[in-house]
Amino acid sequence: MSNVKIKDVSRGATLLKKIIERSDRNLDGAVRGSEVVGIKPKNCPTTGPKWGVAQQAAQGVQKFAQSKGSVTVEDVKKAVDEVAKRVKAADLDGDGFLSDAEAKKLTSLAEKRFANFVANHAGDSIDDFEIPPQKEAKRPSFKWSGTPAEVCTSLLNAYSDPKNDNFWPSWAGKGASRYVVKSAEAKEMVKALEPLYTSRRKAVLTELSNRTLDSHFGCVSCDAGARAVFEKLAKELGVTGLEFKSPVAPKVPAP
């Protein structure tokens, strides 16, 4: 990572943000950890110094954004800008270069990986990389049949915006580890439940409430707007004692 040029930092940030945009493979507006895998420089030997640098930089800023609470495309791009700002600030002697000694003082993995990305790819363009193709994913349709737990899961998968939700990369295809429900999503859910019998709606709402009580795989976190929507429905249905809380995202279990 010898002598990163500070003037190249902005160029590197622009390129990495383009890579981040292309990394949203299912076009849901968010970048998951599993989506920043498979980024490769074209015409580059696997043993060359550039191999893996871009993927590592993308993974670094994705995790940096995740630590801030959001992995939407826009927030991951903001993470790139924040990391780039820190790298620029690391040029303590103001000579326009990031020496090895200054680079060693970078505090986060995201900063170190980004600096290495600038050193290796600042002069490249988005066309110099192979990035897995994007394909819009369709949300599953809401199904009314099944147990209250099955109907609740179907409701969440159909109407919870996935860019707000949390996922475990190693559990791909098994749904969100935590559904984050906001007012607009809650209103869609309430509307979808309208055709069901009152007893059925009560059972599904009770199940949803139970999933907000603690942090576990498949739990639900309601913001203030969603909480008000669900509390209103509970009152209309005559259900008492239900709470709609906001548990933290569950941690991925140790291997």
Lowest mean pLDDT among 66-75, 165-174, 180-189, 211-220: 165-174
**Dihedral angle at the C-alpha atoms of 49, 54, 58, 61, nearest 10 degrees?**
60
Percent of all residues in the chain with a pLDDT value above 90, rounded to a whole number: 79
Contact assessment for residue 61 and residue 76, using Cβ atoms and an 8 Å cutoff: yes
At CA 59, angle to CA 58 and CA 62, rounded to 5? 85
Give the whole-angstrom CA distance, residue 134 versus residue 226.
Answer: 31
What per-residue confidence (pLDDT) applies to 7? 96
Instruction: Determine which helix (DSSP H) or strand (DSSP E) holds 97, and give its type and residue range.
Output: strand 97-98
Taking residues 68-76, report their average pLDDT.
Answer: 90
What per-residue confidence (pLDDT) applies to 172? 63
Lowest mean pLDDT among 97-111, 143-157, 190-204: 97-111
